[in-house]
Amino acid sequence: MTTEEKNSELTRHREIIIATIDYLERTMVGLTHEEFEIVTGYYQQQKRQTEKYYQKRRLDRLQQKLYSLTKYPRWSVDLNFGSYIKEKTGYHIDIFENVQSRINTIIEQNQIKNKKELDDVGIMFRFYKQQADRDKVDILRALLIDFGNRTSKQKLSRHSKD
């Protein structure tokens, strides 16, 4: 990566992270005053840390922070998040892109093998449901049912051995 490309990525990540924090702060509802103060303090600390990583040119840390901060919008299948980031920063971000590529692998292997894959399938099941993609919903539903049946059988066989 050239210096110019790295500078561009550093700026992009910093701006997206700051907008992400602002978005997350805007979505805080139902908190007591004390909880609100704690969460706000946490997000202010995250902004300071983002600036520190930016100043130190730590793109790897900014990438990790962005991934961490987008866990909730990804998990909750927040389809408004990407639009908000685009509007506030001008940058496009697809928080489901990596999950979608992992889902393709899971579909190809025709089996959920572990908790991480189960979590990914759960996220994309909700995503495709919101998108009304019946084919993907049906495929992922079958994988979830199969996983549930297999893990139930494994638990039963372990208990019968005891």
Task: Taking residues 75-90, report their average pLDDT.
Answer: 96
- Residue the block writes with tokens 């051995």: 161
Report d(CA 88, CA 82) in Å as an integer. 10
For the stretch 114-136, pLDDT in tens is: 999 999 999 999 999 999 999 99
- Residue 137 tokens read as 């919903």
- pLDDT attached to residue 156: 60
Task: Taking residues 18-23, report their average pLDDT.
Answer: 97
Q: How is 64-86 classified by DSSP, letter by letter?
A: HHHHHHTHHHHHTT-TTHHHHHH
58's CB contacts (< 8 A; 6+ apart) are none
Report d(CA 45, CA 162) in Å as an integer. 50
- pLDDT attached to residue 157: 61
Contact 21, 97 (CB under 8 A): no
- Residue 118 tokens read as 């189960």
Q: How confident is the model at residue 30 (pLDDT cuts 50, 70, 90)?
A: confident
